Amino acid sequence: MRAWVAVTDKDWYRFLSRRSDFDEINFWQPGGNREFHTLSPGEPFLFKLHYPDNAIVGGGFFTHSSRVPASVAWDAFGEKNGAIAYEEMCRRIERYRRAPLDPRGIRPRPPQPGSSPCGRPA
C-alpha cells in the first residue's frame, strides 16, 4: 500500500477542519495540467501545510482524479472544495497560479484545477 503527502493551503485546511459533516472533500491542484495517477482507490492521501508550518494536518482515502474546470468542481463539490464560495476558490487558484482575475470582474475566468476527490476523511 502506498500513501501520498500533498502540500496544501492553510485556509483550505482550516475551512475543512471545521466541517465534520462532510463525508468527502475535493483536493484541487491549481495548475490543472495533469491528472493524478500516483494512488489507487482506497490508498491514504495525507495533507501537509506549506512552509513554515510543514505539518501533516489530516488525510483521507483517495477515490479518483479528473481534470475539470473550476466551475464543474464547484458544482460537484461546493464547499467541499475548501472554500465558502466559488469566487473564493477561484481567488486561491489564481493566487497560486499568479494570474489575475478576469478584468470583467463578475466571475473569474474559469480556471481548470486538477481535482483529486478523497472519500471518507480521516
pLDDT of residue 28: 87
At residue 20, does pLDDT exceed 60? yes
Looking at residue 78, what DSSP letter applies? G
Which of 53 and 70 is assigned the larger pLDDT? 53
Mean of pLDDT values over 21-43:
88
Percent of the chain clearing pLDDT 90 (strictly above): 53
Domain parsing of the chain, residue ranges: 4-119
Average per-residue pLDDT for the chain: 82
* Full-model pTM: 0.79
Do 87 and 79 form a contact (C-beta atoms < 8 A)?
Answer: no
- At 68, give phi and psi (nearest 5°): -140, 155
Query: Which tops the pLDDT comparison, 79 or 37?
Result: 79
Name the grid cell of 2: 502506498
Cα three-residue angle 118-58-89, rounded to 5 degrees: 60
- Which architecture does CATH list for 4-119? Roll (2.30)
The phi, psi pair for 88, rounded to 5°, reads: -65, -45
- Axis-axis angle for helices 70-77, 86-97 (nearest 10): 140
